[in-house]
Amino acid sequence: MKEKLNKLRDEFLEQLAQAKDSDYLHELELKYLSRKGELSQIMRSLKDLSLDLRQEIGELANNVKLELQSKFAEMSQTINNYSNKSGKIDITLPGGRIPQGHLNPITLVQQEMEDIFISLGFKILDGPELESDYYNFTALNIPPTHPARDMQDTFYVDLKNKDGQYDLLMRTQTSPVQIRAMQKYGAPLRALIPGRCFRSEATDARHEHTFYQVEGLLIDKNINFSNLKSLLEIVGQKLFGQNTKLRMRPKFFPFVEPGNNGEYTCFLCQGQGCRVCKYTGWLEIVGAGLVHPAVLKAGGLNPDIYSGLAFGFGLNRLAMLKYNINDVRLFNNGDLKFLEQF
Ligand code: PHE
């Protein structure tokens, strides 16, 4: 009987040590510890023994029972903790994932531009989004009655200045910071100016009232058109690859002379013609030109000594091309399903 008890004890402990889940534990409990289990059977057979033996073995059997019950309880506790049903923390489980934010694709393109121009010795500047009529138009060679004002649908702000005139507007372009930069830093100057701009547009898949530009300004002595062309060529190659070509076509901007539109080889079809470049092989991406003497003057510089080049990229358009985004309104609508792709 003693032997039987010891054997049962050893067997039980051996099997208990292998327990991995609560189903296994339950089976073990049924087999050994329940009322019909092996231990109870031994206890029941005690009544057939002599009084002396009954006492001795009974005591032993009781001790074994207590030991097995307490070992069993210990193990169920461990297994419960592991499956975290008890609400306790299992420090061996891998940690939960902390959700991370995403950069807007426009920010990504802006940072890429900044990297390119910092490597070319440009400083990064910014300027006010609420701008004066003077900086946004007049100083850029667009006087109050000039028809070129109609080229930009402007949000005027309903606030009069000290002379009783409406003077504030949401800037329609980053170009006013050209003037601010010249006034503040003088010449020579190399500046890249990313920023948010606003136009009173009827929005659709290609037009948005709030959008981003990045302006470039380089002022020095003897700056000429070939400087502009080679600079934009380098930028195009860094943005779209080594084989990218640039073509420049005349375009009127009042603050540059001559003014032009820069177009790059379509990087999607390598200039073969596709839906994105409307089968022309070229992508119209940058407005540019040599800084108009009137603009240099407004910036406080002498146009007989200094000349300059300026350009403006539309960041929304760049990001749309680069990431194959088909609706400009996606950038501002805060939809996580869109943003989380970048
Ligand atoms: N500011 C112009 C626009 O918004 C772009 C531009 C910048 C053109 C600098 C020439 C030089 O369309």
Number of compact structural domains in the chain:
2
CA separation for the pair 75, 12 (Å, rounded): 12
Which residue puts its alpha carbon closest to atom 3 of ligand 1?
Answer: 173
> Which of 33, 56, 85 delimits the end of a domain?
85
- Global pTM exceeds 0.85: no
Q: Is residue 92 part of a domain?
A: no
Same-domain check for residues 172 and 200: yes
**Helix axes of 315-323 and 105-119: crossing angle, nearest 10 degrees:** 110
Q: Is residue 100 part of a domain?
A: no
Q: Given ligand 1 and candidates 142, 150, 175, 290, which is best to mutate, with the most ligand atoms within 8 Å of its CB? A: 175
Q: What backbone torsions phi and psi does residue 16 show, to the nearest 5 degrees?
A: -60, -35
Q: Is residue 145 part of a domain?
A: yes
CA separation for the pair 35, 41 (Å, rounded): 8
Q: Is residue 44 part of a domain?
A: yes
Same-domain check for residues 73 and 151: no
Domain boundaries, position 12:
2-85
Same-domain check for residues 141 and 81: no
> Which of 20, 54, 85 delimits the end of a domain?
85
Same-domain check for residues 66 and 110: no
Which residue puts its alpha carbon closest to atom 8 of ligand 1?
Answer: 287
Q: Is residue 99 part of a domain?
A: no
Distance 312 CA to ligand 1 centre (A): 5
Same-domain check for residues 75 and 219: no
Same-domain check for residues 136 and 246: yes
Q: Cα angle at 37 between 36 and 39, to 5 degrees?
A: 120
Same-domain check for residues 52 and 114: no
Same-domain check for residues 133 and 198: yes
Same-domain check for residues 249 and 305: yes
Distance 13 CA to ligand 1 centre (A): 83
Which residue puts its alpha carbon closest to atom 9 of ligand 1?
Answer: 311
In ligand 1, the atom with minimum distance to the C-alpha of 314 is 4
Which residue puts its alpha carbon closest to atom 4 of ligand 1?
Answer: 173
Q: Given ligand 1 and candidates 150, 153, 170, 173, which is best to mutate, with the most ligand atoms within 8 Å of its CB? A: 173
| pLDDT per residue of the chain (342 residues) written in tens, 0 to 9 | 888 888 988 998 898 888 888 888 888 888 888 888 888 888 888 888 888 888 888 888 888 888 888 888 888 888 777 665 556 677 788 888 888 888 899 999 999 999 999 999 999 999 999 999 999 999 999 998 888 888 888 999 998 888 888 889 999 999 999 999 999 999 999 999 999 999 998 999 989 999 999 999 999 999 999 999 999 999 999 999 999 999 999 999 999 999 999 999 998 899 999 988 899 999 999 999 999 999 999 999 999 999 999 999 999 999 999 898 999 999 988 888 898 888
> Which of 50, 85, 120 delimits the end of a domain?
85
Same-domain check for residues 239 and 286: yes
Same-domain check for residues 63 and 133: no
Same-domain check for residues 229 and 330: yes
The binding-site residues of ligand 1, defined as CB within 6 angstroms of any ligand atom, are 173, 175, 215, 253, 256, 259, 287-289, 310-312
